[in-house]
Amino acid sequence: MARRRTKRKVSFDSKIVIDVGLAGLATRLIPQVVNKFMPLDPTLYSVIGAGGTYLAGTLLKKEVLANAGIALGLVELVSPMVEEIIGGFGSPATLPMGVKASPTPIAIKGAPALNDPMYLADYTNSPAVQSYNDYSGSY
Amino acid sequence: MNTTELLNKYMYPGYMDNVVRKQYPYYDTLNMVTGTTEYFFFQTPVAPFLRNKQLPVTGSEVFFITGISAYPVLNHVTTAQIDALNELLQQSFLEIMVDNRVQMKLPGADFIKYQYANATADQVVLTALNTHMGGNLNQDGFIGRKLPIPILMNSQSNFQFRLVTPGNAVYNGIAFKLVLHGLQLDKLMTFEYDALKENKLQQIPWTLYNTVVIPSGAQNTFQLFQNRATAPNLISGTFPLSNIETFSMQAIEVLVNQPDVPIDPATIFNSRITNELFISVDDRVYYNGDLQNMLSVVAGFGQTLTTTPDLDVVNMFNQRQQLIFKTPLNFPANAKVNFNLTQPAGSLGITGEISVILRGIVTRRVA
């Protein structure tokens, strides 16, 4: 008689979910915090993230947190290499974790100070006439 | 977002940011050749001492031009050389095109700096040169053209920097070095500064200039910026403006040169200072005055000493000034503009040229 196959249910372990979630956050946030005090090379972000999370896990005696930190750090480190090898999925190569991709250029409304390069309204909707204070430094 | 936030976000490198801002010059040197009238800058590969940039800028760079200067490496010591310099200042222009659209056409007088020297003689045989620098002098000491609005050189746009000059033999083999002063943004990855968005108008720095010949010393009114048939190196625009652009004039300079047969430059200056400049827009008078604070003269005059050994000395005169308007003079689109310069009878500096140079910004519709 054939043995009845029992379907094992995947149990939901909220403790692990929370710890892994915390590890994900920590791997991202720890490099930022460290960078505030000690500027880091961007390539070190994932290493610092993983190391910091492992340390936090050890100190808090949370095994899952520590191990997940290392796993996530490893993913951040390895995934760009893997993507490079397999060519990604038609998407451009991403920067190392921690470096934000190019922000969308902002639309500069109006022309508050046209001689300021960052307020440059090369194209503008409000062609304000420059006043003497705006242009006197240009002659 | 305020300026500080904007600067923090885009200008300084740090964690979460990936852009670097730097004050950076682009320069290129071309040798001028007799009879060659057009020169294109930033076209050839980088070479030490000659150029540091080949355009276009790459995908990770954006460059804002905030000033332009150029220098022909020649000390102008004779009246023939000053004559050639006058051609460079009044009958030459630099045209800047970005994405096949003219961003600026500026006369040599705007951006070319030059060296000149008085030749003075001692009583015996010694001739000494007393060298000075000249050019479009700004209030902060910068010689060249500062731009009230930067010209944006976006990633991977196409550019053309074309210098058109009469090709005078005086400059044969002379190095002409053009420098674009500005700010460069570098990013770690390809990006483009979106200058257009949904906007409909563009503002650019502009120099409106017109060079006219002085035919005689008789009373005469020069109607400036009127004749579209003028040779392109003598004019950069005409009135009325088209219906898609307006011009805000911020500064004005009237540059007079050394006549074909040189006379004492002091006489030229004192004669020209009496000329009347009259500007009206739609029949309303906007300016009517003499040239005391806007007249520039660059001229030389050779003199022969009467004492033995009869040495030739050259007296150079270089006065460059522009009048900065406290209130800009705005020329609307399609307006009826009279821009007249009137010389009285008995004016001197005959067969020379007058250039009237208006500096400001143009606002134009995206067409």
Tokens in use for B90? 């009044």
Q: Is A4 part of a structural domain of the chain? A: no
Would residue B167 be called left, alpha or beta, if left means φ above 0 and alpha means ψ between -120 and 50 degrees?
Answer: left
Alpha helices in B243-315 (DSSP H): 265-272
For A28-71, write each residue's pLDDT tens digit.
Answer: 888 888 887 877 777 778 888 888 889 888 988 888 888 988 88
Which residue(s) pair with B102 in the sheet?
B97
B27 min Cα distance to partner chain A (Å): 20
Specify the range with the lowest mean pLDDT, choosing from A44-48, B119-123, B171-175. B119-123
Interval B138-161 mean pLDDT: 89
* Biggest CA pair distance of chain B: 77
Q: B11, A116: Cβ pair inside 8 Å? A: no
Q: Tell me the pairing of strands B201-213 and A123-124.
A: antiparallel
In 3-state terms chain B splits into helix, strand, coil percentages (rounded to 5) of 10, 50, 40
With CA atoms as reference, the chain B residue closest to A28 would be: B16
Confidence of residue B310 (pLDDT cuts 50, 70, 90): low
Q: A138, B200: Cβ pair inside 8 Å? A: no
Confidence of residue B193 (pLDDT cuts 50, 70, 90): low
User: Is the model more confident about B328 or about B7?
Assistant: B328
Q: What is the pLDDT of residue A95?
A: 40
B114 min Cα distance to partner chain A (Å): 18
Nearest to B339 by CA among B272, B247, B217: B247
Q: A99, B325: Cβ pair inside 8 Å? A: no
Interchain contact B228–A (C-beta under 8 A): no
Interchain contact A125–B (C-beta under 8 A): yes
Q: A40, B15: Cβ pair inside 8 Å? A: yes
Answer yes or no: do A19 and A81 share one domain.
yes
Write out the DSSP string of B153-205: E-TT--EEEEEE----GGGTT-EEEEEEEEEEEEESS-------TT--EEEEE
Contact residues for A91 (Cβ-Cβ < 8 A; gap 6+): none
> E strand or H helix at B97, and its extent?
strand B93-98
Interchain contact B64–A (C-beta under 8 A): yes
Identify the residue among A28, A95, A100, A123 best suited for mutation to test binding to B, counting B beta carbons within 10 A and taking the highest. Answer: A123
Find chain A residues with C-beta within 8 A of B324's C-beta.
132, 136, 139
Identify the residue among A30, A95, A118 best suited for mutation to test binding to B, counting B beta carbons within 10 A and taking the highest. Answer: A118
At residue B93, the 3 state secondary structure works out as strand
Confidence of residue A105 (pLDDT cuts 50, 70, 90): very low
Chain B, window 327-366: residues with a beta carbon less than 8 angstroms from a chain A beta carbon: 327-328, 330, 359-361, 363, 366
Interchain contact B10–A (C-beta under 8 A): yes
Q: What is the pLDDT of residue A96?
A: 41
Is residue B243 over pLDDT 60? yes
Is residue B304 over pLDDT 70? yes
Q: What is the pLDDT of residue B190?
A: 65
Which residue(s) pair with B354 in the sheet?
B212, B256
Tokens in use for B148? 């009230």
With CA atoms as reference, the chain B residue closest to A114 would be: B149
Interchain contact A116–B (C-beta under 8 A): yes
Is residue B22 over pLDDT 50? yes
A92 min Cα distance to partner chain B (Å): 10
What totals of helices (H) and strands (E) does chain A contain, helices first?
4, 1
Helix axes A63-86, A45-59, angle to 10 degrees: 160
Is residue B231 over pLDDT 70? yes
Of A105, A120, A139, Cβ closest to residue B146: A139
Interchain contact B18–A (C-beta under 8 A): yes
Domain of residue A125 covers 103-132
Domain count, chain A: 2
ipTM of the modeled complex? 0.78
Interchain contact B198–A (C-beta under 8 A): yes
Find chain B residues with C-beta within 8 A of A31's C-beta.
15
Distance CA B296, CA B257 (A): 8
Interchain contact B59–A (C-beta under 8 A): no
Domain parsing of chain B, residue ranges: 3-365
Interchain contact A136–B (C-beta under 8 A): yes
Is residue B162 over pLDDT 90? yes
With CA atoms as reference, the chain A residue closest to B146 would be: A138
Confidence of residue B187 (pLDDT cuts 50, 70, 90): confident
Q: Is A7 part of a structural domain of the chain? A: no
Specify the range with the lowest mean pLDDT, choosing from A7-21, B168-182, B228-242. A7-21
Is residue B12 over pLDDT 70? no
Would residue B346 be called left, alpha or beta, if left means φ above 0 and alpha means ψ between -120 and 50 degrees?
Answer: left
For B68-103, write each residue's pLDDT tens digit.
Answer: 999 999 999 999 999 999 999 999 999 999 888 899
For A3-38, write each residue's pLDDT tens digit.
Answer: 666 667 778 888 888 888 888 888 888 888 888 787
With CA atoms as reference, the chain A residue closest to B145 would be: A139
Distance CA B76, CA B84 (A): 9
Whether the link from the prior residue into B240 is cis, omega within 30° of 0, is: yes
Chain B, window 67-106: residues with a beta carbon less than 8 angstroms from a chain A beta carbon: none
Residue A44 has what DSSP assignment? Answer: G
> E strand or H helix at A25, and its extent?
helix A14-37
Nearest to B63 by CA among B192, B196, B207: B192
Find chain B residues with C-beta within 8 A of A127's C-beta.
201, 203, 246, 363
Distance CA B91, CA B38 (A): 13
Q: What is the pLDDT of residue A84?
A: 67
B307 min Cα distance to partner chain A (Å): 45
Chain B, window 255-314: residues with a beta carbon less than 8 angstroms from a chain A beta carbon: none
